[in-house]
Homo-oligomer: A and B are copies of this chain.
Amino acid sequence: CECVWTVGGTSDTIFANDTASSSSSSSSYLGNLLVVPMDGSHWVGMKAIAQEMGRRGHRVTVVIPEVSIRMGPGKYYDTEIHPVPYDRAYIDSVASAHKDMMQKSSQSFMVRTKKRFSHILKVIDLIHGTAESLLFNDSLISHLAQQGFDAVLTDPMVPTGSLIARKLGIPTINLLRGIPFSLDVNSAGCPSPPSYVPRFFTGYSDKMSFKERVVNTLVSVYRHIYTGRCMHEERIFKKSQSHIQVNIVILCLNRIDLILEFPRPLMPNMVLVGGINCNVRNPLPEDLESWVSGEFGFVVFTLGTMVSDLPEEKTSIFLEAFRQIPQKVIWRYTGQVPDNVPENVKMMGWVPQNDLLAHPGARAFITHAGSHGIFEGLCHAVPMVMMPIGADQHHNAQRLADKGAGVVVDIFSITTESLLQGLNEVLHDVRYKEDVQKLSALHKDRPVEPLDLSVYWTEYVMRHKGAKHLKPAGIDLNWIQYFCLDVIALLASVVLLFGILIVKCMKLCFRKLNPRSSCYKKKAE
């Protein structure tokens, strides 16, 4: 649930920079790629790579469930559609749960928590349904096995793609923002010293006090003792009777950028491709282009794939605030459009978010701070009013706010005043624009464009049938070996034994020299 994206139609043209792939071998090689994507905003980056791989002449096949939130066919890849045990109405009901969460509620904490938990279970069921209907679709799997794929590009949030790769005996390439409990970092054998790598959701920076380091260490110990698999993964692994770890991964394309992360150790098979989607863009449609033009510019307002509709009272809070600013506002809104929409506000079922942000008239970006949206805002240097809802969004928003690229407003307790204050701050205080411009310059200063880099390493794994020389030996160790706890135990025993021996010797000497302490002597006999 991260950002809005234009699917299908003319939006498939890619303006990506082609000059980066300087390797002579990369240009001639044409392969056969299987893509096992995840639905929702996760599809954004995956589609960008699938399209670009296809455009460069590779054969690309994307496996898609017959009902999905936003996945669909594209110009440069084939699709394999597989049946799923749910319908559109079920997906819509899952999506609408986000709207309920926004509702100012007189319900008790317990009732709300129960609701929330049942929503999470529903999402997990949806993910399972999709994964199992693919993994146990024998005819589709054997059909895929006959296609002679070179590699699988997949989203490791669910291990479906990895399992298929294992079945097909081909290498896996992961595209990810991160997996809960840092499973991705662990399974890559990548160390994360708790002394300066803050654990996700702790909210700590890389400069921690002693107390913070204690908490951070406890969190990371818990994580390591934790079985190493998510609840839903466990179920799928069990059913597929394949007790493998996620660590069969060959290469990870990480959708992060170091200007937003604290510097931490990386493994050689981790490639950073944050901002992969920013160059996938088009000119604005003519009617939208003429509407957004005007001396005061405009504000882009989206809350991601999953939150495109708000409760009535929340909607009116936003409209009331927008009425008081001279800027136009383009709002991605799929719910019932109210009667009292101000003239400067346009509510649309979908918006070309990245194209709008790239427009010189964009003055501010109201966003839920999903991992795709923030990079689009950052890439085009648009100051942000961030309203994180869940997942990594609070982390993203806080990091951007710390760097001066925008302000954070709590969407659950929002008022017209708090929204206006935040909006006016980023619209009128030039420091936000200056800071986001500096950040944008740093973000865009890289030897190879993230999309080109993703394509390059995907091709690399395909043409070399893997990348064995990048596989860290650490992933074959259990955690006792990995942390050398057995070695430490041995060394500690030796030191202890040595200590005890010295004490014993000293006691012996003492007794020999001082025969009066006979009680000890007697006992020793």
Contacts and interface: CB of A to CB of B under 8 A. Distances in A.
Interface in A449-469: 449, 452-453, 456-457, 460, 463-464, 469
Nearest to A441: B25
Given A263-B268, A265-B265, A258 B469 contact: yes
A7 to B, nearest CB: 28
Nearest to A260: B469
Nearest to A453: B447
A171 interface: no
Contacts of A259: 469
A381 to B, nearest CB: 13
Interface stretch (A176-184, A235-243, A474-482): A474-482
Interface stretch (A305-313, A390-398, A486-494): A486-494
Nearest to A470: B263
Contact of A22 (B20, B23, B457, B490): B20
Q: A interface, how many residues as a size bin? A: 35 or more
A266 B263 contact: no
B23 A195 contact: no
B258 A263 contact: no
A263 B472 contact: yes
A449 B483 CA distance: 36
Interface stretch (A36-44, A186-194, A295-303): A186-194
Nearest to A403: B469
A91 interface: no
Contacts of A193: 191, 474, 482-484
B214 A491 contact: yes
Contact of A263 (B20, B444, B471): B471
Interface in A425-464: 441-442, 444-449, 452-453, 456-457, 460, 463-464
B445 A25 contact: yes
- The CB with the most chain B CB atoms within 10 A, among A218, A444, A447, A470, is that of A447
Contacts of A456: 447
- The CB with the most chain B CB atoms within 10 A, among A195, A456, A474, is that of A195
B477 A196 contact: yes
A115 interface: no
Given A196-B473, A264-B472, A22 B449 contact: yes
A206 B21 contact: no
Contacts of A482: 193, 195-196
Contacts of A17: 22
Contact of A484 (B21, B213, B262): B213
Nearest to A459: B445
Copies in the complex: 2
B477 A464 contact: no
Interface string A182-221: 0000000111011110000000011100100110011000
Interface string A484-518: 10111011000000000000000000000000000
- The CB with the most chain B CB atoms within 10 A, among A23, A196, A486, A488, is that of A196
A267 interface: yes
Contacts of A26: 445
A336 interface: no
A60 B474 CA distance: 43
A204 to B, nearest CB: 11
A262 B474 CA distance: 11
B447 A262 contact: no
Contacts of A262: 473
Contacts of A189: 196
A476 to B, nearest CB: 8
Contact of A23 (B24, B266, B444): B444
Contact of A210 (B264, B267, B487): B487
A371 interface: no
Interface in A403-438: none
A174 interface: no
A194 B482 CA distance: 8
Given A17-B22, A264-B268, 18 more contacts: A22-B449, A23-B444, A24-B444, A25-B441, A189-B196, A191-B193, A195-B474, A195-B482, A196-B472, A196-B482, A206-B472, A258-B470, A263-B267, A263-B472, A266-B266, A442-B464, A445-B463, A445-B464
Q: Which 9 residue pairs of A and B lie closest in terms of their CB atoms, listed nearest first?
A: A206-B473, A265-B265, A196-B473, A196-B474, A191-B191, A20-B22, A263-B472, A447-B456, A217-B487
Interface of A: 17, 19-26, 189-191, 193-196, 205-207, 210, 213-214, 217-218, 258-259, 262-269, 272, 441-442, 444-449, 452-453, 456-457, 460, 463-464, 469-474, 476-477, 481-484, 486-488, 490-491
11 contacts: A23-B446, A193-B474, A195-B481, A210-B487, A214-B490, A262-B473, A263-B471, A263-B472, A264-B472, A442-B464, A445-B460
